[in-house]
Amino acid sequence: MDMKTVIMAGGCGTRISEYTKHLLGKELPKPMLPIDGTPLLVREICSLRDQGFKDIILTVSYLADEIINYLGDGSKLGVKIAYFVETQPLGNAGALFKIRDHLSDDFLLLNADSIFDIDFRRVVSFHREYEAMVTLFTHPNSHPYDSGLIITDDNDKVMQWLMKEESRPRYYTNRVNAGIHIINVKALNQAAELMNIVIDKIGTKNPYNGEIIKVDLDRQILKPLCSMGKVFAYDSPEYVKDMGTPERYESVNRDYKAGIVHAKNLLHRQKAIFLDRDGTINKYKGFLRDIDDFELIDGVSEAIKRINESGYLAIIVTNQPVIARGELTLEELSLIHKKLETLLGQNGAYVDSIYFCPHHTDRGFKGEIPELKIDCDCRKPKPGMLLEAARDFNIDLSSSWMVGDSRNDVMAGKNAGCKTCLLTGIGTRQNGKGTNPDYGQELQCTSLLEFVDKVFKDKKVDETIRAKA
């Protein structure tokens, strides 16, 4: 891949340094912390190399010699590494202006304190298709309430970037910047003009207060460029997680040893748990038209959190005939789904994507939308939404589940080739013509949480699944 990669590896890692000093008996720069015995930075570089990104610039500062002495010129890893050593703090983006003459038109920019395994070629294709000035790799995470939020339009154009300290809407889509970017070098100069950054002054003392002039990547480069309409968000469920705290570091190590990090790369076939919405995730109240009537079922957040931790994708597929009937607008449906994502995020859970069918064949409703009154391929029990998700995320449907409270959910799952589970709790809908769910009584569950308990914890069910998969 003819694109330079810049890895920012100069941070001190103050939140985790004492923990690792106690754990390892010595102080290390955060990018050199071991993940299952191998330094994080080495794992990053190998992942890049294997996809053709072999021309790398490392910006280093804190304990720089530890990194330089270990990696050298990169030849032992099959790459070429150049270094920019910050002798004084330049901010997390000041170095980019110092090395901009050595960058290709588009370059990949990464943080060295995150573990990732992603299909970079997809990101590059997206960037070039949209002719983006900047592409942000975004994803949902388990703590959107203290993360910067990326707000886009329906075409993935970034309309707003809300920093974690800024006020945000009451309800929002769980979409955060993962710290992976493709940037056109011209964006640096345009950002400098927008923010009145004097490039030659970066790293020098401000004559008014004596402080070193620094540049912040998010606040002074990327966020201001959003106003130009050339920043786009590539959203993906692939594994990207920072290791800034002891808890996250331990979590990353567990995930790596379990094979989750590697498996989540979209180069590999994915497993998903497809979820109906009404009666499965939120309490069933007929056709949901009022956002105030949306209420999560007890235990759902915990169930979806366990799905997130398992390596399965959590994907909602929901019939929404109220759109065709003219009883709910697309904007109102979007706000309901933002409430869903916000409530889940407050409990450390997230869904990877939401698919909905707006069609309905029955006519005669006041305000109905004629163009949506069609016999479509996406309305359950047809499998269209599941098939679309399978194309988007390279999902192996035979290793995936469809879980819902209606026979139509079961039929949609079977029509897509998934394993299925029908929820039978109070308030669920066992309506619709169809067939029995897989595994008979063995997986007859009253709630999503019970399903997750049985699939992920019950040894007998696990053996049945392996035997029939």
**Residues forming a β-bridge with 7:** 58, 110
Query: What is the chain's mean pLDDT, rounded?
Result: 90
The model's pLDDT over 165-191, given as tens digits with 9 standing for 90+, comes to 899 999 999 999 999 999 999 999 999
> How many other CB atoms are found less than 10 A from the CB of residue 11?
17
Please report which confidence band the pLDDT of residue 443 belongs to, taking 50, 70 and 90 as the band edges.
low
* Selected catalytic residue, list 278, 352, 405, 409: 278
The answer to whether residue 117 is catalytic is no
Residue 265 has pLDDT above 60, yes or no: yes
Residue 379 has pLDDT above 90, yes or no: yes
Please say whether the beta carbons of 185 and 60 come within 8 A: no
Please report which confidence band the pLDDT of residue 429 belongs to, taking 50, 70 and 90 as the band edges.
low
Of the two residues 342 and 286, the one the predictor is more confident about is 342
Please report which confidence band the pLDDT of residue 434 belongs to, taking 50, 70 and 90 as the band edges.
very low
Please say whether the beta carbons of 145 and 124 come within 8 A: no
Q: What does the alpha-carbon distance between residue 87 and residue 64 come to, in Å, rounded to a whole number?
A: 10
The model's pLDDT over 120-164, given as tens digits with 9 standing for 90+, comes to 999 999 999 999 999 999 999 999 998 999 999 999 999 999 998
Closest CA to 324 of 360, 278, 377, 365: 360
Please report which confidence band the pLDDT of residue 442 belongs to, taking 50, 70 and 90 as the band edges.
very low
Q: Which residues, including other chains, have CB under 8 Å from residue 69's CB and lie 6 or more apart?
A: none
Residue 27 has pLDDT above 90, yes or no: no
Burial class (CB in 10 A: 0-12, 13-18, 19+), 87: exposed
Share of the chain above pLDDT 90, in %: 76
Query: Where does residue 51 fall: left (phi above 0), alpha (psi -120 to 50 degrees), or beta otherwise?
Result: alpha
* Selected catalytic residue, list 55, 117, 276, 438: 276
Q: Which residues, including other chains, have CB under 8 Å from residue 131's CB and lie 6 or more apart?
A: none
Pull the structure tokens for residue 428: 């669920």
Share of the chain above pLDDT 70, in %: 91
Domains in the chain: ranges and CATH: 5-242 (3.90.550.10), 269-468 (3.40.50.1000)
Q: What does the alpha-carbon distance between residue 355 and residue 323 come to, in Å, rounded to a whole number?
A: 14
Distances (CA, A) of 138 to 149, 158, 161, 173, 418: 9, 11, 12, 12, 28
The model's pLDDT over 3-14, given as tens digits with 9 standing for 90+, comes to 999 999 987 666
The answer to whether residue 276 is catalytic is yes
Please report which confidence band the pLDDT of residue 67 belongs to, taking 50, 70 and 90 as the band edges.
very high
pTM: 0.91
Please report which confidence band the pLDDT of residue 323 belongs to, taking 50, 70 and 90 as the band edges.
very high
Pairing of strands 272-275, 419-422: unpaired
Strand order in the sheet with 313-319: 353-357, 313-319, 272-275, 401-404, 419-422
Q: Which residues, including other chains, have CB under 8 Å from residue 24's CB and lie 6 or more apart?
A: 34
pLDDT reported for residue 14:
66
